């Protein structure tokens, strides 16, 4: 399975997580890798309900997808990169 790197920008901080899976968009286990201080329990629950699907390929880039969601009133940008085959 390919290795995907998730770069998450939220509330002025950037976090990175990696996971092996069949595709970059249908999983949210990378959320558990975010530091506990980055998201409250309520914000984690809100994010979990919004994160599945919705990733779009970034134009003119190979194997890179982006998703933007609002969590606890703040924009979160998630970039998924297929970093290994």
pLDDT at site 84: 75
Helix (H) or strand (E) holding 43: helix 41-50
Beta bridge partners of residue 19, listed in sequence order: 4
* Contact present, 5 and 16 (Cβ < 8 Å): yes
pLDDT tens, residue order, the chain (85 aa): 899 999 999 999 999 988 888 888 767 777 888 888 888 999 988 988 888 778 899 999 999 999 999 999 999 999 999 987 6
What is the residue extent of each domain of the chain? 3-84
pLDDT at site 85: 62
């Amino acid at each position: 399975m390919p290795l995907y790197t998730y770069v998450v920008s939220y509330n002025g901080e950037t976090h990175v997580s990696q996971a092996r899976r069949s595709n970059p968009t249908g999983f949210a286990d990378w959320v558990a890798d975010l530091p506990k201080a980055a998201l409250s329990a309520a914000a984690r629950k809100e994010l979990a309900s919004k994160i599945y699907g919705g990733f779009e390929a970034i134009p003119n880039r190979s194997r890179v997808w982006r998703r933007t969601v609002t969590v606890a009133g703040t924009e979160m940008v998630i970039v998924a990169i297929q970093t290994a085959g």
